[in-house]
């Protein structure tokens, strides 16, 4: 099984619709920003000239020198820490590498998850022929681990708390698909019923905890998810 595209293979560009949603700044100091990213906004600029709009591009207009220490998928909303200088970037990157940054997500998934909690351990690799998709590959995939816990259940849907131990692209989406409970509104990995159940991907990075590189204070940021499990799936404004 190959992990690289065939030589000379040309793939069409993947163009991102321009997002009109605003960015919320949850915390700011001279070293870093903590941001609540809207869905349908890239974390960093894409390679194609029409995919330049991004969180970092917008922030750089007001905070020159910002850089991405980590990313959220295009369709995922929620919290990101954004360093404002090289020293902070290096320090935050080390925390991610050492896996001392604690990330928590909320997701509404299709169907009723039976187990109250569990772990999904499935290696992932880029699916070159179906980009931007990723796929499970036990031969050459990178280790990918997700912990989940049920917060609320209905016969048609389950609200989950997710804690990714690794940070692979599309990790939570693929792992939950493999569990048999795709995230509602996911246009890449959900079946038609799960896709049609929500007008957007119901995945939100709700909490981030890390140590401030300068003050050594433990910072904890929280952003409530803009969706709930009331009724069938009721989107809250915002």
Per-residue pLDDT at 8 exceeds 60 = no
CB neighbour list of residue 12: distance below 8 Å, 6 or more residues apart: none
Q: Which of 30, 73, 115, 228 is catalytic?
A: 73
What value does the mean pLDDT take over residues 150-168? Answer: 95
Which of these, 114, 118, 170, lies nearest to 144 by C-alpha position? 170
Q: Quickly state the pLDDT bin for 220 (edges 50, 70, 90).
A: very high
Please give the CATH topology (third level) of the domain spanning 24-229.
Pseudouridine synthase (3.30.2350)
CB neighbour list of residue 196: distance below 8 Å, 6 or more residues apart: none
Among the residue ranges 135-144, 152-161, 222-231, the one predicted with the least confidence is 222-231
Q: Quickly state the pLDDT bin for 228 (edges 50, 70, 90).
A: confident
The confidence score (pLDDT) of residue 47 equals: 79
> How is the chain split into domains, by residue range?
24-229
Whether the Cβ atoms of residue 198 and residue 235 lie closer than 8 Å to each other:
yes
pLDDT, tens digit, for every residue of 39-61?
A: 999 999 887 777 788 999 999 99
Q: How far apart, in whole angstroms, are the C-alpha atoms of residue 190 and residue 201?
A: 10
Among the residue ranges 5-14, 19-28, 127-136, 147-156, the one predicted with the least confidence is 5-14
Which of these, 75, 36, 112, 51, lies nearest to 195 by C-alpha position? 75
The confidence score (pLDDT) of residue 235 equals: 45
Q: Quickly state the pLDDT bin for 120 (edges 50, 70, 90).
A: very high
Residue that wins the pLDDT comparison between 18 and 162: 162
Q: How far apart, in whole angstroms, are the C-alpha atoms of residue 22 and residue 236?
A: 16
The confidence score (pLDDT) of residue 52 equals: 83
Q: Is 29 a catalytic residue?
A: no
Number of neighbours of residue 53 by Cβ within 10 angstroms: 15
The confidence score (pLDDT) of residue 237 equals: 42
Per-residue pLDDT at 7 exceeds 80 = no
């Amino acid at each position: 099984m190959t992990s690289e595209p065939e030589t000379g293979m040309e793939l069409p560009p993947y163009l991102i619709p321009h997002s009109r949603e605003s960015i919320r700044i949850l915390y700011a100091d001279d070293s870093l920003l903590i941001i609540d990213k809207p869905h349908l906004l890239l974390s960093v600029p894409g390679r194609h000239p029409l995919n330049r709009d991004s969180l970092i591009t917008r922030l750089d207009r007001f905070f020159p020198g910002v850089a991405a220490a980590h990313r959220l998928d295009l369709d995922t909303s929620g919290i990101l820490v954004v360093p404002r200088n090289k020293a902070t970037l290096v320090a935050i990157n080390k925390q991610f590498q050492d896996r001392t940054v604690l990330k928590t997500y909320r997701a509404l998934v299709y169907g009723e998850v039976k187990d109250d909690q569990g772990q999904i351990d499935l290696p992932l690799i880029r699916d070159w022929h179906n980009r931007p998709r990723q796929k499970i590959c036990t031969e050459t995939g990178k280790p990918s681990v997700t912990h989940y816990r049920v917060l609320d259940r209905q016969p048609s849907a389950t609200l989950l708390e997710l804690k990714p131990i690794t940070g692979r692209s599309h990790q939570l989406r693929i792992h939950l698909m493999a569990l048999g409970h795709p995230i509602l509104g996911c246009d890449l990995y959900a079946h038609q019923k799960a896709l049609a159940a929500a007008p957007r991907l119901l995945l939100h990075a709700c909490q981030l905890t890390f140590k401030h590189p300068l003050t050594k204070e433990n910072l904890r940021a929280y952003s409530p998810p803009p969706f709930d499990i009331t009724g069938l799936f009721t989107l809250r404004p915002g």
